[in-house]
Amino acid sequence: MTNDPVTNQYEMRDPLSQYPRPPFPKQPQPAPGLASRMDPKPDHGEDSYVGFGRLKGRRALITGADSGIGRAVAIAFAREGADVALNYLAVEESDAEEVVRLIEAAGQKAVVIPGDLKNEAFCQELVERAVDGLGGLDILVNNAGKQTAVDDIADITTEQFDDTMKTNIYAMFWITKAALPHMQAGSTIINTTSIQASQPSQNLLDYAMTKAAMANFTGGLAKQVAAKGIRVNAVAPGPYWTALQPSGGQPQESVMKFGEKVPLGRPGQPAEIAPLYVLLASQESSYMTGNVYASTGGTLY
């Protein structure tokens, strides 16, 4: 086995040495953060994800698709044959452009729809523009998220609390509500929750509660739409090396040690979680609905 760069997601490797381990340099940047400014650069599967047509002809809307987990999912979906509509914030345009290039290089269509998900009218418009641009909608990935670490509840402002709720919960609700009328039997919804849903950190009170709400919503909605043949699941990442963390998601001291505490001793790279989304989006997971699938480096969800 080898420490060389990953050439495809099937190559047998030692997971301990497959990707960088802490310590990492401090690297503060303002939220929402850019993947291009991270050190080391995250692996979103740019050079390694190999697709096999598992999502051929599907049409997917992914929020937070410019960077991190959303980018890895967008690359994987495109290489599996799906067209992709991407949402992100306008300040993340440079990250998003890289993703568009990769989707197009895979021979698929990319529809860019930047905008702020804290706004209900925009969430509705996002779905309409995705449906128009893609010619329909088969897969929705509610992945955008806001995480701001604060040590003391006394210092969590109402503005932060409100923004976290809006970005993580309200947007998922608004987008899902708008998307369902466009979906048919076989369609799937995937929500990015977190290990924080079941194991909340002391400095992520507002964030962790939104992730618990997302897992709960996933279970209830799955029951509601089962009779329509639509499946709803959630993915729960542990520590993943994305712009969310150094841009205020963790204190810089924790960024330096990020992933150290999990059994595998390092953070996951976005490329390592994309296959879970592909599975949940594809017909392979036809009997899987209403559940949470975790990728945590060894911590029980």
Are 70 and 93 contacting, i.e. CB atoms less than 8 angstroms apart?
A: no
Among 43, 46, 66, 138, binds Mg ion (CB under 5 A): 66
State which residue, 63 or 285, has the beta carbon closest to ligand NAD.
Answer: 63
Residue 205 in contact with ligand NAD, rule: CB under 6 A: no
Q: Report the relative pairing of strands 83-87 and 110-112 from DSSP bridges.
A: parallel
CB of 223 to ligand NAD, least distance (A): 23
Residue 138 touches which member of ligand NAD, Mg ion, none, C-beta under 5-8 Å by kind: none
- Please give the Cα distance from 183 to 298 (Å, whole number): 35
Cα-to-chain-centroid distance, residue 55: 18
The amino acid occupying position 218 is T
Question: From CA 242, how far away is CA 45, in angstroms rounded?
Answer: 13
Q: Give the residue closest to ligand NAD by C-beta.
A: 68
Q: CA triplet 294, 139, 167: central angle to 5 degrees?
A: 65
207 is catalytic: yes
Give the one residue of 46, 80, 92, 272 binding Mg ion; rule: CB under 5 A.
Answer: 92
**Closest separation in Å from C-beta 227 to ligand NAD:** 28
Q: What are the backbone dihedrals phi and psi of residue 232, each rounded to the nearest 5 degrees, phi first?
A: -135, 125
Smallest separation, CB 56 to ligand NAD (Å): 25
Query: Which residues, including other chains, have CB under 8 Å from residue 73's CB and lie 6 or more apart?
Result: 62, 65, 141, 143, 274, 277, 278
Tokens 């998601």 found at: 249
Rank residues 66 and 80 by Cβ distance to Mg ion and give the closer one. Answer: 66
Which residue in 18, 67, 233, 254 binds ligand NAD (CB under 6 A)?
A: 67
Window of 20-28, 50-58, 126-134, 141-149 that interacts with ligand NAD by CB under 6 A? 141-149
Q: Contact positions toward ligand NAD, by CB under 6 A?
A: 32-33, 63-64, 66-70, 87-89, 92, 116-118, 143-147, 167, 192, 194, 237, 239-240, 242-245
